[in-house]
A and B are shown apart, each in its own frame.
Chain A
Amino acid sequence: MDDNNFGSYFRRRIIFIMMIGFFAICITQLFNMQILEQPAYSEKSDENSVKPIYQTAPRGVFFDRNHKVMVGNKPSFTLRITPSTYDKKLNPYIEAILSTSPGYIDRILKQNESYSKFIPRRIAKDVSFKVIAWYEENASKLPGVDYIMETQRDYSFSIMGSHMFGYTKEIPMEIYQHRKNEYDIGDDIGFGGIEKTYEDYLRGDKGIKYMLVDAKQKTIGRYKNGEEDQTAVKGDDLVLTIDKDAQSVAEEAFKNKRGAVVAIEPSTGEIIAFLSAPQYNLQDFAKVTTNEVWRDLNNNPDKPMFNRASMSTFAPGSTFKMISAIAALEEGIIDTNYKINCGGGYQFGDRYFKDLHVHGTVDVETSIEKSCNTFYYSLVNKIGLDLWSKYAKKFGFGSKSRIDIPEEAAGIVPSTDYYNKVYGKNGWTKGFVISLGIGQGELNVTPLQLAQYAALFANSGKSARPHFLKGYTDMHTNLFVEVKPQTYDIGISKKSFDIVRRAMYLVVNGAGTATNIRSDELQISGKTGTAQNPHGKEHSLFIGFAPFNNPKIAIAVLVENAGFGSTVAAPIARDIIKAYLIKRNKEENKNLAAVTIVQEGKIAH
């Protein structure tokens, strides 16, 4: 045995260096981790053990102009499934308790397949307490299933307003991709109407509860006793311009009809009532909207999803006669002394344009009061297409009103350029123009545009952009922010308006076409119309405003396939006006009384 080598100095050195070396490595690594990189590790450690639980904020509530609730919120249970831990064998049991059709869960899971399977999917919203009790009892046998309390839209305030309010829906993937900072998967987002336009006000701020979780993601307690938690801030409440009573009268009147109503406060553009009938039930959208609901709505021949009030376009019929009248008066083509003889029609070239009655001698006032077609056949011919078109456009036809909901159509106001474009330079005749005089032909307008048009007559050419939002309560500052109306003036003389307005007064209060809705109290002025409809019976139309001397409401009513304007549309308009004005008067009197009391009080002191 080689004694020199046993535990030699060289061997001792190697072992010694290894020990000191490893000690040095450990100290270096500890220094790196615990001192230099400590912040990064701490962050990781906190992320690890702290799980944020997001609470959706209740959306802002919709109030009407008198601060009555129209759309509220209510607490509801939402049943959720997290696919990563869920067993599809449970489908039939859950479907049975939810009483949905077999395959319902598979369908919903399929719709959301592209999301991470660790994110819970909302399977059913607004589930009954019975379901929750069942879940609680069987929770251990239902891995991947849970429920949360959420607030949900409450539509139980006796009006529907489906087209103006719009609905909310789980955020679709395309939108989510662009707004990842603001939304999480499964969040609701406004999808139409006011819900969409004012989404950023209504949404509110999510609350975050930080929970301590162990490695199995089981909740152990609150992080820092909830110090860092953020409470959910409810979305801004909106005060809308709608008058709930007027709206509800409109909805009642259209129970079994198709059509639309738009009522506007003439000087401010505030929309008092807005209806497209038939409506759809917003409550259906508050739950997880199933394909069946969509299919039913889309296949319904009455097209309930279609917003007739601002999207449907049609020829406005006699309601459009005032355009020609005001253009001719303003341009000096006629004056109040100008008269024609109505023999029951108008010969133009080889075509004869018929009137419904023989009106005899007709001036501009009578032409509106009695709705004489002959007068306008000849008048529009005198004015000429492009001048007429210019005036129609002044009143807002042919372009969008920029109302604050996304659904709106511009309509069509024909002009020389338009006809040239559609029919070619020589493809159309002057005869096309004659029927425009009585609002027929290729003219396309929406009920909203007609209401705006009525408002301009009510206020003699001055109005404001139609809008739904009167103001909102900023939930962060708790201050009410009022929305200023965007007023405009179409620049037509009061003199011309006075003549036409007087004629519109006589339509209802003289010997006109709508004397059936005459009311001394309301002082309605207006114009009836019957819009020809290539698909069936004519649409019944009425536009108007009231009271005559100081108009507070302008209105357009369309009843589809209902015949003469005076018989169907006009009474509906009267009822809505009445609902709005009578209450308004009462309130004004009340305010007056209050002022008097205060003044008396002051005197007493």
Chain B
Amino acid sequence: MHINYKLQDRFDLAIFIPAVVLMIFGLLAIYSSTFNHPTASGNFQKQLIFAVVAIIAFFITFSLPQQLFKSFVIPLFFASLFFLLAVLVVGKTVYGAKSWFGIGGFGFQPSELAKLGTILMLAYWLTYKSRDINNLLDIGVALAIGFVPIMLIMLEPDMGTSIVFAIITISLIFWSGISLFGLFIVLSPGFVVFASLFGVYAFVTALLLIVAALFFFKRDLFNSITVFIINLSAGFFFDYALKILKPHQQKRISSFLDPSADPLGSGYNALQAKVAIGSGGFFGKGFLHGNQTQLRYIPQQWTDFIYCVIGEEFGFIGSVLVIALFLIIFLRLFKLSATAKDKFSVLIIIGVLTLFFSHFTINIGMNLGITPVIGLPLPFLSYGGSSLLINMVMLGIVMNIYKNRKLHT
């Protein structure tokens, strides 16, 4: 096979081609799940247009001068915060969440724009001049950059996207070289909160583990007590937050903890998704021949449950192929992050990688029944214009960084 080294030097096909193949898989799955659907039968054509627009956007981003991104960071971040605020006021409610702007026949999700804005902002802040990542104030500001969009998105409410923002924030701080103790401070409240989901005993056990860890770190008493109080209050705050959650969100959490408790509610989708994938077998039931899909056992399958269309109709082979394509993209992004010429670029690539990977993990995990049902689209496959557009723009930025990796400014 002849590889055009000149092209490969400027343009990473190992990312672009898998992404395009995934988009094609997505289009096939969307077609299969909607072609005889009474209300969603136009989704294939729409997604096809989105795909073309997204690829154009990818090339535009790819060809922009790299310096431009840095100057865009602050206005983009605040613009996305503004949109997130605005959507709470004038947004339209889709599936119980106020997360959309309706523009003509199309909708736009500001949280998608905020992903880009937040990644850029965090990368900018964390690599700005002589930042000390172990300085509590610097960590605090970094956390705040993540926390503001998280809170705004939680208000929509869109729990899945909030979780993604939290993961991005934490992993960028982590990548920036935070010490183990610093990471412990950042992560331990999350651990306590998660434990508190399983009841009082788990909550107390988690707090005891925190105390044990504090002894291990051997920090001074003031620091230790501060951390402990942060953890304790996180538990209580979460308990309060749980109460303000919408019933369907509370149900999702409880149905993850005990799937058999609510077989026809949110556990129903998870079960039907597993049945669809499991019944696909090795070769699948064939394109347009999956009965779970064709008989619409899984509502809105073309969004968050797109992977079970692949699993049912293309079987083990198709399912593994899709996962493998994602792995190629992830490993490639990982590799490119090492070649980027500055830390800002590295953090952008790591941010994009984290975004894709967290979406992938939560979505595939939900489809395979190994993580709770959290509504998040599968990048490149799920139906949705905003998400596809921003994903391709982000790949365009990564590709732009790759193109300019040898230039010195």
| Identity of the chain B residue whose Cβ is nearest the Cβ of A50 in the assembled complex | B291
CB neighbours (8 Å) of A354 from chain B are none
User: Do A23 and B177 have beta carbons less than 8 Å apart?
Assistant: no
CB neighbours (8 Å) of B338 from chain A are 7, 12
B23-31, B125-133, B396-404: which one contacts chain A? Answer: B125-133
CB neighbours (8 Å) of A15 from chain B are 171, 334, 353
Distance in Å: Cβ of B344 to nearest Cβ of chain A: 11
**Contacts A40-B278, A41-B275 supplied; 6 other A-B pairs, CB < 8 Å:** A1-B132, A23-B323, A30-B311, A34-B311, A34-B316, A48-B295
User: Do A215 and B334 have beta carbons less than 8 Å apart?
Assistant: no
Instruction: Write the B27-39 contact mask toward A (1 if CB under 8 angstroms, else 0).
Output: 0000000000000
Distance in Å: Cβ of B51 to nearest Cβ of chain A: 25
CB neighbours (8 Å) of A7 from chain B are 175, 177, 337-338, 343, 346, 350
User: Do A23 and B291 have beta carbons less than 8 Å apart?
Assistant: no
Sort chain B's interface into a size bin. 35 or more
| B80 CB–A CB distance under 8 Å | no
User: Do B277 and A215 have beta carbons less than 8 Å apart?
Assistant: no
User: Do B320 and A30 have beta carbons less than 8 Å apart?
Assistant: yes
8 residue pairs, one from A and one from B, having the closest CB atoms: A41-B278, A5-B177, A45-B279, A33-B278, A34-B316, A41-B279, A6-B177, A42-B279
| B176 CB–A CB distance under 8 Å | yes
CA distance A487 to B276 in the complex (A): 65
With known contacts A1-B132, A7-B337, A34–B323 Cβ distance under 8 A: no
Distance in Å: Cβ of B404 to nearest Cβ of chain A: 19
Contact of B297 among A1, A37, A214 (CB under 8 A): A214
| B331 CB–A CB distance under 8 Å | yes
Instruction: Write the B177-195 contact mask toward A (1 if CB under 8 angstroms, else 0).
Output: 1110000000000000000
User: Do A30 and B295 have beta carbons less than 8 Å apart?
Assistant: no
| A29 CB–B CB distance under 8 Å | yes
CB neighbours (8 Å) of A23 from chain B are 323, 327
Give A40-73 interface residues, CB cut-off 8 Å to B: 40-42, 44-46, 48-49
Give A180-218 interface residues, CB cut-off 8 Å to B: 212-215
User: Do B133 and A2 have beta carbons less than 8 Å apart?
Assistant: yes
| Identity of the chain B residue whose Cβ is nearest the Cβ of A213 in the assembled complex | B295
CA distance A5 to B276 in the complex (A): 45
CB neighbours (8 Å) of B16 from chain A are none
| A11 CB–B CB distance under 8 Å | yes
Give B126-146 interface residues, CB cut-off 8 Å to A: 130-134
CA distance A11 to B277 in the complex (A): 34
| Identity of the chain A residue whose Cβ is nearest the Cβ of B171 in the assembled complex | A15
Contact of A30 among B133, B277, B350 (CB under 8 A): B277
Contact of A34 among B176, B277, B295 (CB under 8 A): B277
Instruction: Write the B317-342 contact mask toward A (1 if CB under 8 angstroms, else 0).
Output: 00110010001001100100110000
CB neighbours (8 Å) of B323 from chain A are 23, 26-27, 30
With known contacts A23-B327, A30-B316, A214–B296 Cβ distance under 8 A: yes
User: Do B299 and A215 have beta carbons less than 8 Å apart?
Assistant: yes
| B121 CB–A CB distance under 8 Å | no
Contact of B134 among A2, A48, A212 (CB under 8 A): A2
User: Do A35 and B316 have beta carbons less than 8 Å apart?
Assistant: yes
CB neighbours (8 Å) of B405 from chain A are none
CA distance A311 to B338 in the complex (A): 100
Instruction: Write the A1-40 contact mask toward B (1 if CB under 8 angstroms, else 0).
Output: 1111111100110011011001101110111011101101
CB neighbours (8 Å) of A16 from chain B are 334
CB neighbours (8 Å) of A3 from chain B are 177
- What is the predominant secondary structure among interface residues of chain A facing chain B? helix
Distance in Å: Cβ of B321 to nearest Cβ of chain A: 11
CB neighbours (8 Å) of A5 from chain B are 133, 176-179
Contact of A45 among B171, B292, B334, B369 (CB under 8 A): B292
| B357 CB–A CB distance under 8 Å | yes
User: Do B368 and A26 have beta carbons less than 8 Å apart?
Assistant: yes
Instruction: Write the A370-383 contact mask toward B (1 if CB under 8 angstroms, else 0).
Output: 00000000000000
User: Do B134 and A11 have beta carbons less than 8 Å apart?
Assistant: no
| A220 CB–B CB distance under 8 Å | yes
| B251 CB–A CB distance under 8 Å | no
CB neighbours (8 Å) of B353 from chain A are 15
CB neighbours (8 Å) of B272 from chain A are 48, 215
CB neighbours (8 Å) of A37 from chain B are 278
User: Do A33 and B343 have beta carbons less than 8 Å apart?
Assistant: no
Distance in Å: Cβ of B186 to nearest Cβ of chain A: 14
CB neighbours (8 Å) of B320 from chain A are 27, 30
CB neighbours (8 Å) of A2 from chain B are 132-134, 177
User: Do B282 and A34 have beta carbons less than 8 Å apart?
Assistant: yes
Query: How many A residues touch B, CB cutoff 8 Å?
Result: 40
Contact of A49 among B178, B297, B357 (CB under 8 A): B297
With known contacts A33-B277, A40-B278, A48-B275, A19–B295 Cβ distance under 8 A: no
Distance in Å: Cβ of A23 to nearest Cβ of chain B: 5
CB neighbours (8 Å) of A1 from chain B are 130-133, 177
CA distance A18 to B171 in the complex (A): 12
Instruction: Write the B267-292 contact mask toward A (1 if CB under 8 angstroms, else 0).
Output: 00000101111111110000000011
| B174 CB–A CB distance under 8 Å | yes
| B351 CB–A CB distance under 8 Å | no
CA distance A529 to B175 in the complex (A): 114
CA distance A16 to B333 in the complex (A): 11
| B370 CB–A CB distance under 8 Å | yes
Give A486-500 interface residues, CB cut-off 8 Å to B: none
Distance in Å: Cβ of B398 to nearest Cβ of chain A: 16
Q: Give the most central of B315, B338, B368, B369: most A CB within 10 Å.
A: B368
Give B357-409 interface residues, CB cut-off 8 Å to A: 357, 361, 364, 368-370
User: Do A6 and B175 have beta carbons less than 8 Å apart?
Assistant: yes
Instruction: Write the B141-161 contact mask toward A (1 if CB under 8 angstroms, else 0).
Output: 000000000000000000000
Contact of A29 among B132, B175, B279, B368 (CB under 8 A): B368
User: Do B177 and A34 have beta carbons less than 8 Å apart?
Assistant: no
| Identity of the chain B residue whose Cβ is nearest the Cβ of A221 in the assembled complex | B295
User: Do B295 and A220 have beta carbons less than 8 Å apart?
Assistant: yes
| Identity of the chain A residue whose Cβ is nearest the Cβ of B280 in the assembled complex | A34
CB neighbours (8 Å) of B171 from chain A are 15
CA distance A517 to B380 in the complex (A): 101
CA distance A18 to B167 in the complex (A): 13
| Identity of the chain A residue whose Cβ is nearest the Cβ of B361 in the assembled complex | A22
Q: Give the most central of B295, B297, B370: most A CB within 10 Å.
A: B295
CA distance A24 to B353 in the complex (A): 18
CA distance A566 to B226 in the complex (A): 116
Distance in Å: Cβ of A2 to nearest Cβ of chain B: 5
User: Do A44 and B279 have beta carbons less than 8 Å apart?
Assistant: yes
CA distance A11 to B131 in the complex (A): 19
Distance in Å: Cβ of B102 to nearest Cβ of chain A: 28
CA distance A10 to B281 in the complex (A): 39
| Identity of the chain A residue whose Cβ is nearest the Cβ of B176 in the assembled complex | A6
CA distance A3 to B76 in the complex (A): 28
Contact of B368 among A4, A18, A30, A220 (CB under 8 A): A30
CA distance A16 to B357 in the complex (A): 11
CA distance A220 to B311 in the complex (A): 23
CA distance A37 to B368 in the complex (A): 13
Contact of B177 among A8, A41, A220 (CB under 8 A): A8
Distance in Å: Cβ of A425 to nearest Cβ of chain B: 72
| Identity of the chain B residue whose Cβ is nearest the Cβ of A29 in the assembled complex | B368
User: Do B177 and A44 have beta carbons less than 8 Å apart?
Assistant: no
Could you list 12 examples of A-B contacts with CB < 8 Å? A6-B176, A6-B177, A7-B338, A11-B174, A11-B175, A22-B361, A33-B311, A34-B316, A38-B278, A38-B280, A45-B278, A214-B297
CA distance A42 to B278 in the complex (A): 7
CB neighbours (8 Å) of B364 from chain A are 26
With known contacts A6-B177, A26-B323, A220-B295, A45–B368 Cβ distance under 8 A: no
User: Do A45 and B343 have beta carbons less than 8 Å apart?
Assistant: no
With known contacts A2-B134, A16-B334, A34–B296 Cβ distance under 8 A: no
CA distance A23 to B278 in the complex (A): 18
| Identity of the chain B residue whose Cβ is nearest the Cβ of A40 in the assembled complex | B278
Contact of A38 among B281, B327, B343 (CB under 8 A): B281
User: Do B275 and A44 have beta carbons less than 8 Å apart?
Assistant: yes
